[in-house]
Amino acid sequence: MDEKIRILVVDDEKVVRNACHRVLTGKGYEVATAENGQQALEVLGQETVDLILLDLKMPVMSGEELLEITSTKYAHIPVIIITGHGTVDTAVECMKKGAYDFITKPFQIDPFLITITRAAEKRKLEQKARQFEEENIRNLYDLNLEKSRLKTIINRMANGIMVTNRNLEVVLHNPALMRLMEISEGIQSPAPISKIINDESLTKTLKQILNGETSEDESISQEISTGINVLKAISAPALGPDKSVVGTVTVLEDITAFKQLDQMKSDFVNMVAHELRSPLVSIRQLNSVLLEGLAGPLEEKQQDFVNRGKNKIDSLLELINDLLDVAKIEAGQYVQRQVPTDIGKIIEEIVALMEPRAREQGITLTFSCQDLTPVHADPKNIEEIFNNLVSNAINYSPEGGQVTISARGQGEYMEIKVEDTGVGIAPEELPKIFDKFYRVKHPKTRQVIGTGLGLAIVKGVVEAHHGTIDVESAVDKGTIFRILLPVITK
Ligand SMILES: Nc1ncnc2c1ncn2[C@@H]1O[C@H](COP(=O)(O)OP(=O)(O)OP(=O)(O)O)[C@@H](O)[C@H]1O
Ligand SMILES: [Mg+2]
């Protein structure tokens, strides 16, 4: 606070007023003067005053009378009484009535200034304290306003919100969460999480977050079912001021309707695929009959047309089979028969099958196997995995590329890798390539024909075998698909 202290000198003697004015302005104070109590009140009414120097004996309105008024109306302004030697008693009396201090006439400069400085300091301190108090009140008000705003937003949200502390107790939840979880009774915070959500996979995720197994800006999305509703839960760490994990935040979205629609769409596609397959198989057989000349000899041109028709039917049947595979995977009916399966043998067969195609496209196909033990799997499914991954690797690599398949036993798991030196996949595309029908638009691979079902099938098969698949890729450098499958342990 750099503002100057403003002192009002009230004395009927001009000499005193002038002397005070000179000394005080010399010390950096601002000074106003008044000849009597009446004039002083006028000044007080118009200007801000920080300190009053008050003579007691004055005409019109005496110092004592003025003091009575200032001690109630201007209680925050310290008053220093100016008094002659004979009237010290009266000065003491005045202090009882609220004056801050007194100085005796004739003034001695130093004690006079010390008294003034002390009073000025007191005034400054009081002002500062008041300012702090006002600021404090304002901050508290802002904080409360912000809190109630936040509360309103959270309570009105259609999505469920659940915040837990480090002990996995729910410390904040909103009405939407209660509605989604179909809980009607009130829940006191903190409440054990099992009182609200009893989902093992979500609890596991939250524990991972609390153990710091995820990065601070990572959020984990998963689907959970309440029996009636299907919810998408997105969980992330709640961070303290020092960035340590102090709890978890989960947002839950109701995707029941979306799931139902998705199911309807899948059922529809499945039905159409089924209905198309039988007539197509018949047409294909008829074409074969024609081609083999069993219905009479065909001219060269006729043979060519029928052959082309048969090829089109073959790719249509392939698409239909893929669609039916996806539907089976989604219904959990894909993996039919699991037997101890030798992955090495399947790789050899695939390489033999794909080699001519790779060579045709100027691509070298190699493989390596190490420490293999059998896995519990459906061999047809495993073939399907390699078929898709290897044909992708060949399709999405330019001439001169290198495709490597490797399988390596690693304790309880078998690691399978399909690597290529192809066009690669941009980071923003990576999370989407396992989605049904998703294909990356890339000028270099526009000519590749496909439906975008291959990787969806691969992922479905791997997961049905309790394995995992991930992908690493660099644009124009190449791509690695890495699968871990559990092996049969004795
Ligand atoms: N090895 C790879 N290198 C570069 N891009 C790839 C690779 N594998 C897959 N992709 C990209 O991922 C997309 C999805 O692959 P996916 O196998 O699911 O479908 P597809 O090959 O387009 O069609 P299909 O259903 O006939 O296999 C591809 O369109 C391609 O853009
Ligand atoms: Mg493919």
Q: Say how far apart CA 243 and CA 145 lie, in whole Å.
A: 26
- Give the Å distances, CA to CA, from 196 to 168, 193, 232, 235: 12, 6, 16, 15
Task: Find the 322 Cα to ligand 2 centroid distance in Å.
Answer: 11
Residue-by-residue pLDDT tens, the chain, 490 positions: 457 899 999 998 898 899 999 999 998 999 999 998 899 999 999 988 999 999 888 888 888 888 889 888 888 899 998 887 667 788 788 888 888 988 888 778 888 889 889 988 988 898 899 899 999 999 999 989 999 999 999 999 999 999 999 999 999 999 999 999 989 888 888 899 999 998 999 999 999 999 998 888 888 999 999 888 899 999 999 999 988 999 999 999 999 999 899 888 888 888 888 899 889 999 999 999 999 999 899 999 999 999 999 999 999 998 898 888 888 888 777 777 788 999 999 999 999 999 999 999 999 999 999 999 999 898 989 999 999 999 999 999 999 999 999 999 998 999 999 999 999 999 999 999 999 889 999 888 888 888 899 999 999 999 989 999 999 999 999 999 999 999 987 6
Question: 6-131 belongs to which CATH class?
Answer: alpha beta
Q: Say how far apart CA 355 and CA 348 lie, in whole Å.
A: 10
Tell me the helices (H) and strands (E) count for the chain, helix number first.
12, 18
- Residue 252 and residue 162 in contact, taking contact as beta carbons nearer than 8 Å: yes
* Ligand 1 neighbourhood includes 451 CB (under 6 angstroms): yes
Residue whose CB lies within 8 A of the most ligand 1 atoms, among 315, 390, 392, for a mutation test: 392
One-letter amino acid for residue 368 of the chain: S
Ligand located closest to 393 CA: 1
Q: What is the pTM of this model?
A: 0.59
Total residue length of the chain: 490
Residue nearest to atom 29 of ligand 1 (CA): 439
DSSP reduced 3-state for 452:
coil
Beta-carbon contacts of residue 145 (< 8 Å; ≥ 6 apart): none
Domain ranges within the chain, ordered by starting residue = 6-131, 158-254, 258-330, 339-486
Structural domain 158-254, CATH architecture: 2-Layer Sandwich (3.30)
* Ligand 1 neighbourhood includes 440 CB (under 6 angstroms): yes
**Do the first three CATH levels of 158-254 and 339-486 match, i.e. the same topology?**
no
Residue nearest to atom 12 of ligand 1 (CA): 433
* Ligand 1 neighbourhood includes 98 CB (under 6 angstroms): no
Using only C-alpha atoms, the chain has a radius of gyration, in whole angstroms, of: 44
Q: What is the token pair recorded at 469?
A: 């698949």
- CATH for 339-486, among 2.40.50.140, 3.30.565.10, 3.50.50.60, 3.40.50.740? 3.30.565.10
Residue whose CB lies within 8 A of the most ligand 1 atoms, among 320, 402, 439, for a mutation test: 439
Residue nearest to atom 26 of ligand 1 (CA): 450
Residue nearest to atom 8 of ligand 1 (CA): 392
* Ligand 1 neighbourhood includes 483 CB (under 6 angstroms): no
* Ligand 1 neighbourhood includes 61 CB (under 6 angstroms): no
- Residue 59 and residue 36 in contact, taking contact as beta carbons nearer than 8 Å: yes
